[in-house]
Amino acid sequence: MKYKILLIIFIASLMVSAILTFSNTGNSDFCGINEKENCNAVQNSKYASLFGISNSVYGIFIFLILSILTFSQMQKPTKNKQLLIAYAVITGFIIAIYFIFLQIFILKALCRYCLVIDFGLIIAFFLVILGEIKKKKK
């Protein structure tokens, strides 16, 4: 069940990353531009890319790989795939917390699409951690 939920989170994050990459995020209808919700400000900030590549492009590749890996884990579970997914989710959780911090305290603007990905990774983190806690109790 855990991997089904993770797969849904990863596919949703993949779709949102694609929306951010290929849509006009400067469109006010798309972004809901007002004082607090302004994904245009977030998407055009200096934090929106790394090494000249948009974070949403990284998201497409990362969530595509995680979706495939998770589906593979559901079909034929291995310890290596389980660990790789867990480490990716933990890393994603740390990055998500950082991006939420940036939006709230540095940029003072929120991107609803970015937050979907960030909160998805937070949920994924707790699923992975709770799964490990349950496993250790057995």
Least confident of 5-14, 29-38, 118-127: 29-38
Mean pLDDT of 96-123: 94
Global pTM value: 0.87
Token pair, residue 45, equals 């900030």
Higher pLDDT, 73 or 132: 73
Report the chain's mean pLDDT, rounded to a whole number: 89
Higher pLDDT, 133 or 53: 53
Q: Is 92 exposed, middle or buried (0-12, 13-18, 19+ CB in 10 A)?
A: buried
Write out pLDDT tens, residues 13-54: 999 999 988 876 555 556 655 556 677 788 888 998 899 998
C-alpha distances (whole Å) from 26 to each of 4, 21, 105, 115, 118 are 34, 12, 22, 17, 20
Cα-based angle 74, 12, 97 (whole degrees, multiple of 5): 100
Residue ranges of domains in the chain: 2-24+55-137
- What's the Rg (C-alpha) of the chain? 16
